[in-house]
Amino acid sequence: MGTTATARRLLLLLALALALAAHRAAARFVVEKNSLRVTSPAALRGVYECAIGNFGMPQYGGTMHGVVVYPKADAKACRPFDDSGLSFKPKPGSLPVFLLVDRGDCYFTTKGWNAQNAGAAAVLVADDKVEPLITMDSPESSGTEHIVNITIPSALVTKRFGDDLRKALQNGEMVNVLLDWRESLPHPDERVEYEFWTNSNDECGAKCDMQMNFVRSFRGIAQALEKRGYTQFTPHYITWYCPEAFILSKQCKSQCINHGRYCAPDPEQDFSIGYDGKDVVVQNLIQICVFRVANETRRPWMWWDYVHDFAVRCPMKEKKYTRECANGVINSLGLDIEKINKCVGDPDADKENPVLKAEQDAQIGHGSRGDVTILPTLVVNNRQYRGKLEKRSVLKAVCSGFEETTEPDVCLREDIETNECLENNGGCWLDKATNVSACKDTFRGRVCECPIVNGVKFIGDGYSHCEASGLGRCQINNGGCWNETRNGKTVSACSNQEAKGCKCPSGFKGDGVNSCEDVDECKEKLFCQCKDCACENTWGSYECSCGGSNSLYIREHDTCISKQSSSSLGWGFLWVIFFGLALAGAGAYAVYKYRLRSYMDSEIRAIMAQYMPLESQEMPNQHRPVVPVDHADI
Ligand SMILES: *[C@@H]1O[C@H](CO)[C@@H](O)[C@H](O)[C@H]1NC(C)=O
Ligand SMILES: *[C@@H]1O[C@H](CO)[C@@H](O)[C@H](O)[C@H]1NC(C)=O
Ligand SMILES: *[C@@H]1O[C@H](CO)[C@@H](O)[C@H](O)[C@H]1NC(C)=O
Ligand SMILES: *[C@@H]1O[C@H](CO)[C@@H](O)[C@H](O)[C@H]1NC(C)=O
């Protein structure tokens, strides 16, 4: 027990040392914020700052609409609302509830958990004193295992704003707000730089488990993003230094390396058992060196493999948290062990380790980023991430760090979508017949954009109109055109030859979209008007039979010919040829007549004379339509 008490005292001292170090460099813990816009009532309209809580899931890059509700009982939300019979589940069609609760009496996370269980979509905690905004963090004590299950976002608002909200609600006004995380992270360009401040210690309870689960679930995405150049990731490790007066103490010797320069708390908070703080520092150092060496060979993503494998193969519990075990992991990943050993250096030497020195320097805030004091911490585009350390939530944050429209595919995938399309199809175009929808869920919120389905592009405004276009468009819902099948015959108003639109095929008339109606060729006297012919309309066509048994109907020519000599048809064509020649001749004649006028050669005159009679010769009536009308002009 004595050792534990000493350890506690020393931890306090180390923490002090850190505070001092930070103070030296003008300590700054930056409270990460999002904005809250009140849209009604008019008196409160405006944009207010609020602080993102370090638990739950902030919707980085997105927004959320809701109505504020202040509970009638248990305004501090320290007990489950079941006890007081309150529920904040939204009714169908109503806006989600943002529960306003008072600060005090219990953990922020408890308030968040109770609000979530009662159906609230977000929790707004009103500060109870006039002060600048703070970050609501999660406690480390036991009995708070539910923290990992909090999925609603949380925000702290100032006392003054909280009072105003309460007053408006008490006056019976409806308070509409929009929580907005779109500017919570800078998103200047096509690459996101992010850091993960972590620790190799695997025996610190819920926080260590959360870190490990995060590495396990985020590794694949992190590596894919890194390999494709979308991100630049750097891992970081926090170390403390031993105050000078204690350097030679047993405690500093067990917690620090390089003569008190780099320390970590004892994993078990007990110097007499298990691993010491200095073992953690050494393993942290190895992990930084793995990253450095891998990064030099342009494979920085190997860090994720190493950290993952090390946690699996070398846990403290199994007494494998050793350098030998680490070397085994390094070897099996094919990393350069000599370079890594050189980077680690001699932990017993009384001199600075440049790698750890750089880590200590990086810990101090710079630019828009405050000091890193919460472990683990994620820094995205030089701003600290707040919220649960969980794949979906972190990915949202990373995605919101890309300049709009440059985000990689993974940001537009289902598992981080906002589900805004589920309700009323997000107000976008939807073809009920085929379920083709223009609503696309992204982490930034839904967009209405005509889709591409099976390679067929839809064009339109995405809200009220989309239409299949280009090749293959008739395969999808028949291009939105009319089609019908009768007696095994399918007729369609869609043609793949046309880029868009619908047109009734020949034999039909109509708009081509809703209907095409059969044309009654007989009634409308379009065909089969020959003498003694019998006309019968069919669906999309007609039947025609010639009077008398020795005539045959020739459909192409809409005419009857005698069956007697099969050659008559041939003669018919011959006539056509003659007639064609006659026309050509007439054309030539016209040209010559125009060009040569009186110079016309007498020989040509003679030839023309030969042909001219053909034109005037009386041809059988039924042959007349053979030559299309537009050739008869000349
Ligand atoms: C949290 O969620 C997990 C998995 O969904 C579940 O097994 C666990 O019981 C939950 N914990 C609490 C405190 O509700
Ligand atoms: C990793 O490598 C890149 C380029 O290869 C470099 O810009 C970056 O600074 C390196 N990171 C570290 C921590 O050495
Ligand atoms: C369309 O899709 C939704 C959800 O994916 C489904 O519930 C619905 O039954 C589908 N409707 C049709 C006509 O396929
Ligand atoms: C009309 O076209 C659609 C889509 O190509 C097809 O699924 C449907 O069976 C057709 N309807 C008829 C009556 O042929």
Domains of the chain are 33-180 (3.50.30.30), 187-411 (3.40.30.10), 420-469 (no CATH), 479-518 (no CATH), 521-568 (2.10.25)
The answer, yes or no, to whether residue 565 has pLDDT greater than 70, is no
Ligand nearest to the CA of 149: 1
The pLDDT score that the predictor gives to residue 577 is 59
Task: Read off the pLDDT band of 65 (50, 70, 90).
Answer: confident
Are 177 and 39 within 8 A, CB to CB?
A: yes
Gap from CA of 145 to ligand 1 centroid (Å): 8
* Confidence at 304, pLDDT banded by 50, 70, 90: very high
Whether residue 567 is predicted with pLDDT greater than 60 in this model: the reply is: no
Q: Is 146 in the pocket of ligand 1 (CB under 6 A)?
A: yes
Ligand 1 site, residue 65, Cβ cutoff 6 A: no
CA of 440 to the centre of ligand 3 (A): 15
Ligand 4: residue of 436, 475, 481, 483 to mutate (most ligand atoms within 8 A of CB) is: 483
CA distance 257 to 336: 23
Better-predicted residue by pLDDT, 295 or 529: 295
- CA distance to 287, 401, 422, per residue, from 229 (Å): 22, 14, 33
Q: Is the CB of 477 under 6 A from ligand 4?
A: yes
List pLDDT tens digits, range 368-411.
777 777 778 899 998 888 888 888 889 989 998 998 878 888 88
Evaluate: CB of 485 within 6 angstroms of ligand 4: yes
Tell me which ligand sits closest to the C-alpha of residue 419.
3
Question: How far is ligand 4, taken at its centre, from the CA of residue 470, in Å?
Answer: 19
Distances in Å between the Cα of 307 and the Cα atoms of 283, 367, 396 are 10, 29, 23
Confidence band, pLDDT 50/70/90 cuts, at residue 608:
very low
Which of 8-12, 196-200, 474-478, 576-580 is modeled with the greatest confidence? 196-200
The ligand placed nearest to the CA atom of residue 433 is 3
Indicate the helix (H) or strand (E) that contains 393: helix 391-399
Residue with CA nearest ligand 1 atom 7: 149
Point out which residues pair with 193 in neighbouring strands: 232
> b/e string for 194-231 if b means 16 or more Cβ within 10 A?
bbbbbbbbbebebbbebbbebbeebbebbbebbeeebb
Which pLDDT does position 154 carry in this prediction? 93
Main-chain phi, psi angles of 158, to 5 degrees: -70, 160
Give me ligand 2 centre to Cα 298, in Å: 8
Which tens digits make up the pLDDT trace of 425-436? 877 899 888 889
Per-residue tokens: 572? 């018919």
Higher pLDDT, 272 or 533: 533
Q: CA-based angle 497:502:503, to the nearest 5? A: 85
Threshold 0.75, pTM exceeds: no
- Name the band, by pLDDT with cuts 50, 70 and 90, for residue 615: very low
CA 511 / ligand 4 centre spacing (Å):
17
Residue 128, SS3 per DSSP: coil
Mean pLDDT of 588-614: 49
295 CB less than 6 Å from ligand 2? Answer: yes
**pLDDT-derived band at 346, boundaries 50, 70, 90:** very high
Q: Report phi then psi at 147, rounded to 5.
A: -55, -40
Kindly state the tokens that stand for 324. Answer: 């030998």
Give how far the C-alpha of residue 92 lies from the chain's centroid of Cα atoms, to the nearest Å: 26
Which of the pair, 159 or 471, is modelled with greater confidence?
159
Among 136-140, 345-349, 589-593, name the one with the lowest average pLDDT.
Answer: 589-593
C-alpha span between 497 and 183 (Å, rounded): 48
pLDDT the model gives residue 578: 63
Q: Tell me: the pLDDT tens digits for 232-249?
A: 999 999 888 888 888 888
pLDDT band, very low/low/confident/very high, at 142 (cuts 50, 70, 90): low
Nearest CA, atom 4, ligand 1 = 149
CA of 435 to the centre of ligand 3 (A): 6
Please state, in angstroms and rounded to a whole number, the distance separating the CA atoms of residues 316 and 72.
Answer: 49
Is residue 625 very low, low, confident or very high in pLDDT (cuts 50, 70, 90)? very low
| Average pLDDT value over all residues in the chain | 81
Give the tokens for residue 406: 């440059």
Ligand 2 centroid from CA 563, angstroms: 92
Q: Which ligand is nearest to the CA of 289?
A: 2
